[in-house]
Structure 1
Amino acid sequence: MDFLTEYRRKLVSPEEAVKVVKSGDKVAYGHFAMAPTFLDPYLAQRKDELKAVKVYAVVYPGLAQVAVCDPTREHFIYNSWHFSGGDRMLHDKNLCNFVPMIYHEGPAVIERYCDADVFMGKVTPMDSHGYFNFSVANSDTYAYIKKSKKVIVEVCDKAPYCLGGNLEAIHISEVDMIVETDSKPLIQVPEVPPNDVDKAVAGHIMNLIEDGSVIQLGIGGMPSAVGSMIAHSDLKDLGAHTEILVDSYVDMYEAGVLTGKRKAFDQGRMAYTFALGTQKLYDFLHMNRTAASYSVDYTNSPSIASQHDKLISINNAIEIDLFGQVCSESSGTRQITGTGGQFDFIFSSFKSRGGKGIICLSSLKEGKGEKKSRIVPTLTPGGIVTVPRAVTNYVVTEYGAVDIKGKSTWERAELLISIAEPDLREDLIKEAEKMKIWVKTNKL
């Protein structure tokens, strides 16, 4: 079959591509670094021609112009399944709404509830077999494509070709329109340099990791600090089965610490569903069989991830209350990120033989003036429970690591207060007493 002829037949200008969107349509954007940042401004330019177009994104890099251009939300109603920094800014202006989802359920949720009129997202250039690769954002992209009436791909020649895995590409026969972009590099997200508190937390986490562990790192300073410490450790034969792949995995691999030899399956390969990092990461992933791109219902599925022994999940939190409820996605009613895969991996880690699900956080909230604890009597009103108390396992601050799984309410309170900011522990004890989760025999 002559794929080049079909390619040329489907190649259109960006102005022509966005004309397929009609008033009332639902438009699904590609995810993370593969969002349609080239087509988005062209769609925004059609604002005055359109009404009530609903757009759905996932961690859009920067500010989606369909939201910025329409402060009344009469023309575009912008939504996100997981917030980026830009989505958060738009949410604060009432220009973005959050769609709650547990990540491993994404493809099933899309299949059951999310018909789309148009899909548009970045892909790599077409290969000789007629496939466009989803590059660094497999996620639940193909699930959305299957539910979309029209599929538009914007070809980016700077995107790495990421081998699978599964569902990591789309064939030209499934594509309706092709747009060639301005070839800007993918957005780069450098890892946050760890501060002293991050390093202290990471030090406690390192004591929980054994040779042969399979590592899932979240994003942020603390997981980055753990990745750096692992790369400089004498740990052996670690594996990777994760939602996000970040630069730290490259460091661990190049240091010889991460080999994947002891994984139950995908041996020798890093299984992931999306990647965000620097050019170092993207260059590493290009045509590299060391890594395997999978759809999220594979990487994040508890029934799959938990088959690995010693699955270690390391994720950040915003606050945790004395009952063990973890809030990792909002500050009160203000949406910060999303549930993502945190629940998936904390749950999976406990089901894994020898696994550990770790929630890490600094003992104090950032800010000047009065000290405010991240370990609180009850979550801030409106705060979202990301990990229910019955699922929470290990909690780590700079003052230590505690395992609250299987503990009564007073035991949980005692353990959590023991790793809180020392100056605030007495206040937390008083609140625990009021809530009837403290006994006089408790000792810190």
Structure 2
Amino acid sequence: MSFADEYRKKLVSADEAVRIVKSGDWIDFGSFLGQVRTLDKALAKRKDELSDVKIWTCVNPYPTEVNVADPEGDSFIWHSWHMSGADRKVAKTKAVYYSSIVYSELPRYVREHIEPLAVAMLQVTPMDKHGYFNFGPQATHTRAVCDRAQKIIVEVNEKQPRCLGGYEEAIHISEVDYIVEGENQPLAQIPAPPLSEVDQKIAQLILEDMHDGCCVQLGIGGIPNAVGMMIADSDLKDLGCHTEMLVDAYVHMHEAGKLSGSKKQTDPGKMVYTFALGTQILYDFIDDNTKCAIYPVNYTNKPAISSLNDNLITINNAVEIDLYGQICAESSGFRQISGTGGQFDFVLAGYLSRGGKSFVCMPSSYKAADGSIKSRICPTLPPGGIVTDTRSMAPIIVTEYGKFQQKGMSVWQRAEGLIGIAHPDTRDELIKAAQEQGIWRRSNKIS
């Protein structure tokens, strides 16, 4: 049988494909831009026929019909490996169950530890002449999901870019049970937030520690994006890219001639990533581009691999940090707002890399509803605050008021150093708290 014949044999409507889902099933809805949309609509129609269908996703970028149809969560129970803005909206009306991860380990969780998947659904590119459907810009743990599932449904979207590997970037038609031709909806456009003055100050402090030949990992958010855009306008050259997330800033760096990748120890010359989120500029750039190499996350994020690149500079965000050096990058008290993601992996990798550095960045403060200044450097993390990076991991902390290297510092040195980069209006209050906690010893380095 030819691939074309096999394709026609397995081609069904979305309504027919989702008939295989049964009450009580665990299913996977795809991750990032590979989350299904036509199949989502079809499954939502079965709301009154089904109960207790558990759905996995990761960084859901779209409004989901199953959650609109079932706001109480009786039929469809939503699980996430990393919360997104869309997930936070869902959480206003129903539970969203987050699972904490070390992202580089996620393929193993899926293959060995989670409940077996009855059905995997995922968006893919059109089939190529060799019978393969490319996963698009989300290799992550997608192959592991397919390996764990009893049935596999692919939803073809002609708008998905074909992302070259690497490995584990595609699935063969012989492994697929049903093919659904989707509505070819455009991919989510996620532009970088506007650069604030604070973002630019922090980015400039990081650029001071960079030099020709560094390998760059950018996390999500305004500050990493600011670093990328400032690199594009800098005199730096021969930089490398080994990252979890590819964003628009990397395209600008490449077009400015900064990303030769010639100094990398792994995948020299290649821009290595496991998923991409940005705008059409990025999606057009990665489509069929041999400069780029997409890998599963247990390759991109594994510290033992990424740290092989000398001078690895990792740049990630935080929500808040306490005076002991514990970093929360994913929750606001008890409210989960994102996830561990790859920050844990890359904080480790940056320090393991020869000549490498790990930066965790945040504005020093925010304005409360009453207009008062509240410090993001706290005496202790608030109740419910999640420790994303332990104090023993101790990356370099950067605010608009400076940067502080925590490695080797005692508790009083950390408290002093962190208070030194806090907002000036909050420092006296932090000193008082440090005194009460028995971790304050004023030295001649702070006034």
User: How would you bin the TM-score normalised by the shorter chain?
Assistant: over 0.9
Change in CA separation of 1:366 and 1:177 when aligned onto 2, cut-off 3 Å: farther
* C-alpha distance after superposition, 1:134-182 (max 9, x if no partner): 1111110010110000000000001110000110000001100000011
Give distance in 1, aligned partners of 2:113 and 2:304.
23
State the partner residue of 1:419.
Answer: 421
SS in 2 for 1:30: strand
Change in CA separation of 1:366 and 1:222 when aligned onto 2, cut-off 3 Å: farther
State the partner residue of 1:312.
Answer: 313
1:430 equivalent to 2:432? Answer yes
**TM superposition shift of 1:359:** 0.2
Give distance in 2, aligned partners of 1:238 and 1:156.
34
1:192 equivalent to 2:193? Answer yes
* C-alpha distance after superposition, 1:308-354 (max 9, x if no partner): 10111100100000100000000000000000000000011111111
Contact 1:243 1:296 in 2 (8 A): yes
State the partner residue of 1:405.
Answer: 407
Contact 1:214 1:309 in 2 (8 A): yes
Give distance in 2, aligned partners of 1:46 and 1:241.
42
SS in 2 for 1:138: coil
Contact 1:104 1:344 in 2 (8 A): yes
1:339 equivalent to 2:340? Answer yes
State the partner residue of 1:219.
Answer: 220
**TM superposition shift of 1:366:** 4.5
Contact 1:327 1:385 in 2 (8 A): yes
SS in 2 for 1:149: strand
Once superposed, what is the RMSD of the aligned Cα atoms? 1.0
1:126 equivalent to 2:127? Answer yes
Identity over aligned pairs, percent: 53
SS in 2 for 1:340: coil
* C-alpha distance after superposition, 1:358-388 (max 9, x if no partner): 0000001254411100011101110000000
**TM superposition shift of 1:211:** 1.2
State the partner residue of 2:46.
Answer: 46
State the partner residue of 2:67.
Answer: 67
Change in CA separation of 1:167 and 1:61 when aligned onto 2, cut-off 3 Å: same
Contact 1:67 1:96 in 2 (8 A): no
**TM superposition shift of 1:73:** 1.8
1:168 equivalent to 2:169? Answer yes
Give distance in 2, aligned partners of 1:387 and 1:90.
27
SS in 1 for 2:91: helix
Query: Which AA in structure 1 matches 2:434?
Result: A
Contact 1:414 1:442 in 2 (8 A): no
Give distance in 1, aligned partners of 2:420 and 2:108.
41
**TM superposition shift of 1:442:** 5.4
Query: Normalised by the size of structure 2, how large is the TM-score?
Result: 0.98
SS in 2 for 1:125: coil
Contact 1:91 1:335 in 2 (8 A): no
Change in CA separation of 1:50 and 1:405 when aligned onto 2, cut-off 3 Å: same
Give distance in 2, aligned partners of 1:367 and 1:21.
46
1:293 equivalent to 2:294? Answer yes
Query: Which AA in structure 2 matches 1:385?
Result: V
* C-alpha distance after superposition, 1:18-45 (max 9, x if no partner): 1110010001111101100221121111
**TM superposition shift of 1:71:** 2.5
Query: Which AA in structure 2 matches 1:45?
Result: K
Instruction: Identify the range of structure 1 (105-114 vs 270-279) with the bigger mean alpha-carbon deviation.
Output: 105-114
Runs of 5+ unmatched residues, structure 1: none
Give distance in 2, aligned partners of 1:296 and 1:77.
25
* C-alpha distance after superposition, 1:178-220 (max 9, x if no partner): 0001111111111111111111111111111121111000111
SS in 1 for 2:434: helix
**TM superposition shift of 1:392:** 2.0
Query: Which AA in structure 1 matches 2:384?
Result: G
Contact 1:67 1:95 in 2 (8 A): no
1:389 equivalent to 2:382? Answer no
Query: Normalised by the size of structure 1, how large is the TM-score?
Result: 0.98
Change in CA separation of 1:366 and 1:291 when aligned onto 2, cut-off 3 Å: farther
1:14-53 → structure 2 map (5 Å cutoff): 14-53=14-53
State the partner residue of 2:80.
Answer: 80
Contact 1:271 1:292 in 2 (8 A): yes
Query: Which AA in structure 1 matches 2:412?
Result: W
Give distance in 1, aligned partners of 2:95 and 2:18.
21
Give distance in 2, aligned partners of 1:43 and 1:20.
10
Give distance in 1, aligned partners of 2:166 and 2:271.
10
Give distance in 2, aligned partners of 1:148 and 1:299.
24
Instruction: Identify the range of structure 1 (185-194 vs 267-276) with the bigger mean alpha-carbon deviation.
Output: 185-194
Query: Which AA in structure 1 matches 2:408?
Result: G
1:87-236 → structure 2 map (5 Å cutoff): 87-114=87-114, 115-236=116-237
Q: 4+ runs of 1 displaced by more than 4 Å?
A: none
Give distance in 2, aligned partners of 1:95 and 1:425.
38
Contact 2:72 2:94 in 1 (8 A): no
